[in-house]
Amino acid sequence: MYGDMMITIALCDDEVKFLDYYEQKLHIITKKHDILHEIIRFTSGESLLFYLEDHPNQFDIIYLDILTGDKNGIETAKAIRTFNKETKIIFLTSSASFVYDAFDTNPTNYILKNVHDNKFEDIFLSTVKSLKSNPNERQITFKSGKDCIMYPLDDITHFESFKRLVDIHLSSGETVSYYYKLSDLTSALSNENYVLIHRSYLANMQYIKRISTQ
């Protein structure tokens, strides 16, 4: 399935034990799925950005620790986004409290160290698959009677749950409703660019412009 791909990966973490750990995991996964790959390691955001000055489009995927060196991972990601909007950034973090600070860097996903480790392979393969796909081919399907209706994920701003219905809010301004459980949607989209911001709202991160607290 993946044998014709060559994936270039950056691993950025200031702790060598995590660089070793995730590099080994990636070697095991890529061997298992026959994915050609190259991994380059960095121990700080500064060294990664210095490398990217000469190789701005080098990496397909960047694993970036949020707390690394003098320049934290969020600052590093923001700097990367000034010249590269396409590379997939996956944050590695020991605390979920930083997740909302990173929305405007358009991350692909987050991995909580020692918590989401069982999801590491699924997140990696989903990200690799997205590199091959046309974004408009990423769809979700709902059944309406005998019909199956498909919506591109990038056209959905958020899902809203009300009793037994889920409202699908589209970027066009249209809203459609189906009988569905938000918990099932959250599980189905766990490897996509969606985040549960409230027990009744599942939001597409690319449409989130600001986070505020009351």
In the chain the domains, ranked by start, together with CATH numbers, are 6-132 (3.40.50.2300), 136-207 (2.40.50.1020)
Which tens digits make up the pLDDT trace of 149-187? 778 888 899 999 987 888 999 988 889 888 888 888 888
Q: What string of DSSP letters covers 36-84? A: EEEEEEESSHHHHHHHHHH-TT--SEEEEESS-SSS-HHHHHHHHHTT-
Is 0.95 topped by the overall pTM? no
